[in-house]
Amino acid sequence: MEPSELKRSKDSPNSDESTRRSSFPDEVLERVLSLLKSHRDRSSVSLVCKDWYNAERWSRTHVFIGNCYSVSPEIVARRFPKIRSVTLKGKPRFSDFNLVPENWGADIHAWLVVFAAKYPFLEELRLKRMAISDESLEFLAVSFPNFKALSLLSCDGFSTNGLAAIATHCKNLTELDIQENGIDDKGGSWLSCFPESFTSLEVLNFANLSSDINFDALERLVGRCKSMRVLKLNRSVSLEQLQRLLVNAPQLAELGTGSFSEELTFRQYVELESALSNCQNMHTLYGLWDAKGIYLPALYPVCTHLTFLNLSYAALRSDELAKLLAHCPRLKRLWVLDTVEDKGLEAVGLNCPLLEELRVFPADPFDEEIIHGVTEAGFVAVSFGCPRLQYVLYFCRQMTNAAVATIVQNCPDFTHFRLCIMNPGQPDYITNEPMDEAFGAVVKTCTKLQRLSVSGRLTDLTFEYIGRYAKNLETLSVAFAGSSDWGMQCVMGGCSKLRKLEIRDCPFGNAALLSGLEKYESMRSLWMSACNVTMNGCRLLAREMPRLNVEVMKEDGSDDSQADKVYVYRSIAGPRRDAPPSVLTL
Amino acid sequence: MSSENGKRLLETDAGGLNFEATELTLGLPGEPRVTSDGGAKLGSKRGFSETVDLKLGDNNREVKLGHSLQEAAKSPVSKTQVVGWPPVRGFAKRGKKSCKYVKVAVDGAPYLRKVDLEIYNSYQQLLTSLEDMFSCFTIRNYLNEKKIEQVNGIEYMPTYEDKDGDWMLVGDVPWQMFVESCKRLRLMKSSEAVGLGLTTGPKYSSTN
């Protein structure tokens, strides 16, 4: 939903000239448009002319709403009468890191009430960073008889009782995907609520939950859902239980194991390996909690056709990773913990030439005593072996400008470059200079760059580079960086495609904020916290741009004139009415 | 779990610090920052005048009020922990390796075993593993037999010795509490336990 995108076709007929255009029945137009899946293409199409706008809105079955407050459910329902699938995102991304107050909003219930009235045939709901209560889940479960797919990512406010309601009532459920949520885990009995007659489940992900589930119920469920292709277990499922499940589900394409660490007898190990080797369709492997190196060889038969391996819950050493990766030649995506160290990353470079995505997470992010983890050397090693890298998320404790320059020279195709040097404001550890040249190299070389997260000691020069070169940049995350307003002004002036900007702890003030006046309506949102923005600056912004919602979150005990946390977003629904008292809408 | 670490910094848990003491500065230490008002002013709200050193391990949190601006400049923000930084989601304690090996004795078995309690996440996993471990003794004698559920068909009560030296029934307390207080395990023959009046089952049973 991007009402201000200006992509007009030059030859667009409009309805006043209907006598002149060639007759093109609406049904044909709708049929053609129904083949369009991308919501951005559909937005563009809807701007061509009134006829196309109408044809598009009647043929749209999936709506993507990147900010739940940018529009109201009534407006959505009025425009799109035939929606079967909804994707909604709520809170600002920094809520993942505790920067957003708990009762901030983004509650799904009002949406569900409208959907129940207008979209009784709703099939799919995918939510990210929304608040959803058990009552809402129960309401969902009983209001939509055709409901098929529920995906909750980084949501909160619900418990396993809500999941029980879904399992009990959704007779046609194909997907239940619960990821990284703040869920109140009251026990595993919800899984037993799937009726014995229920067979349609294709995707089941409950890795997020910690309680024991009734394994017999799970075994029967997996056994009778013959179309199941994605199964992600939680940590309470043992290796022996995993083997029993796999024997009945060799068709699985994605598997999240449970705990990978208990003591196995030799026979159990052999049976596990045999069960895994029967899974010829498996291309994705998750979980592997507490994986013990000695059992990893059981995975070798699956590794040959794996394209995505997520080891971010398994604290492997470099040698353990190296041995495993020797069997994974087709890997395209790899997530690991920094326990693998640089040596482990060297093995990545040596064994995975097709790698497109690498994420290295810190095993102990809050512990400063750690002297291991990964350094610039590991990243450089990967870049030499994996020229096709497009997406990287890298947490480290030291980095140099030279290393980053080498990395992007080896891998010029980066679309997502997220580098987190974990000590805020840390310079190049060899030259002691700011990391400006590193990110300068990134934006100069990687012309396709869409997403960038910067870190380390950075002056305004970094932002000059970004503004000048990062012409395709859509998402920028900045923390503890910059020297003055000029930095942010460069970004606002230069990055024409910018959609999301999130800034924390930077010396950007009102001049910086207001330099983006013209820009914010073409963006999804702006977040600024712990910067130098004042309430007056925010009020000015709100006054000048009535179609923006300017919200300030106040912290207790702070100076009245400071705007501690500012969240600015475009909206056609007007200021929201459900803001808690700590959030001021200007 | 660890997503709470950052929050703790601002709560009164942190030893009664007043808010000013925990404020952090922005940008580079030692450099005055130019604000939008044009004048140079050291960020009064967020100077590096004090840094807070918090150790977020176990239950001992030392809070030291630190350094002047000059000293902070030497080791910029390395000793400061900040809300929501590094930007990792609540799974910060992924795969942390620790181990707690305890001896396991079974009445009637010729020798003891050791298990690492840290590798289990629930009573069910532990008990299943113990069953497997000790059925081995009998399996050795019957080479191709399937695993039997109870050793020799005799029932065993799982008990453990806690930090105070008392013998407790396994399963009464939450799993983590059990792991922390357990010093050794003993599978006691039920027939012996009958006389002790241990008739009610544990609160935290292994199945739902």
Predicted confidence at residue A192, as pLDDT, reads 93
Q: B128 and B149 in contact (C-beta within 8 Å)?
A: no
Lowest mean pLDDT among A152-156, A531-535, B187-191: B187-191
In this model, does residue A446 exceed pLDDT 80? yes
Task: Please state, rounded to an integer, the average pLDDT across all residues of chain A.
Answer: 92
Whether A411 contacts A386, CB under 8 Å: yes
Separation of alpha carbons B146 and B162, rounded Å: 34
* Residue showing tokens 């923390």: A479
Q: Residue A97 above 70 pLDDT?
A: yes
Helix axes A460-469, A436-445, angle to 10 degrees: 0
> Domain coordinates of chain B in residue numbers?
101-195
Q: CB B125 to CB A262 under 8 A? A: yes
Q: Which of B7, B24, B36 would best serve as a mutation to test chain A binding (most A beta carbons within 10 A)?
A: B36
**Rounded Cα distance, A219 and A217, in Å:** 5
Contact assignment for B77 to A505 by CB distance below 8 Å: no
How confident is residue A415, by pLDDT bands cut at 50, 70 and 90?
very high
Which fold is adopted by the domain B101-195?
Answer: Ubiquitin-like (UB roll) (3.10.20)
pLDDT digits (tens, 9 = 90+) for A388-402: 999 999 999 999 999
Residue B193: its pLDDT value, please? 60
Is there a contact between A424 and B35 if contact means CB atoms under 8 Å apart? Answer: no
Residue among A130, A228, A112 nearest A180 (CA): A130
Region A288-315: what's the mean pLDDT? 91
Q: Residue A247: is its pLDDT beyond 70?
A: yes
With CB atoms and an 8 Å threshold, state whether A364 touches B57. no
CB pair distance less than 8 Å for A235 and B121: yes
| Chain B residues 1-60 within an 8 A CB cutoff of chain A | 2-3, 5-7, 19, 24, 26-29, 31, 33-37, 43, 45-46, 56-57
Interface contact flag, B208 A214, Cβ < 8 Å: yes
Q: What CA–CA distance (Å, rounded) separates A54 from A35?
A: 15
Distance from CA of A361 to the nearest CA of B (A): 8
Q: In A398-555, which ranges are continuous DSSP H helix? A: 401-410, 436-445, 460-469, 485-494, 510-515, 535-544
Helical pair A26-34 and A50-59, crossing angle rounded to 10 deg: 60
Closest CA to A417 of A381, A384, A379, A385: A379
Give the type of residue at A227: S
User: pLDDT over 70 for what percent of chain A?
Assistant: 95
Kindly tell me if the per-residue pLDDT of A57 is higher than 80: yes
pLDDT > 60? residue B13: no
DSSP state of A124: E
The band of B153, judged by pLDDT with boundaries at 50, 70 and 90, is: low
Checking if the pLDDT of B27 tops 60, the result is: no
Mean pLDDT across A235-251: 93
- Count how many pairs of residues, chain A against chain B, have C-beta atoms within 8 Å: 181
> How far does A369 lie from chain B, in Å, by closest CA?
10
Shortest CA gap B82–chain A (Å): 9
**Top-confidence residue, B177 or A479:** A479
- Give the closest residue to A409 by CA, choosing from A429, A374, A380: A380
Dihedral sign of CA atoms A220, A226, A227, A228 in order:
positive
| CA–CA gap between residue B64 and residue B61 (Å, rounded) | 10
Neighbours of A223 (CB within 10 A): 15
- Which of B35, B122, B207 is the closest to A509 by Cβ? B35
Domain architecture of chain A: domains with CATH: 398-585 (3.80.10.10)
pLDDT digits (tens, 9 = 90+) for A518-568: 999 999 999 999 999 999 999 999 999 999 999 999 877 777 888 999 999
pLDDT digits (tens, 9 = 90+) for A341-361: 999 999 999 999 999 999 999
Mean pLDDT value across residues B65-76: 37
A529 SS3 class: strand
In this prediction, residue A386 carries a pLDDT of 97
Residue B12 has what pLDDT? 37
User: What's the complex ipTM?
Assistant: 0.82
Report the mean per-residue pLDDT for chain B: 57
For residue range B112-135, list pLDDT tens digits in order. 888 888 777 677 778 878 877 876
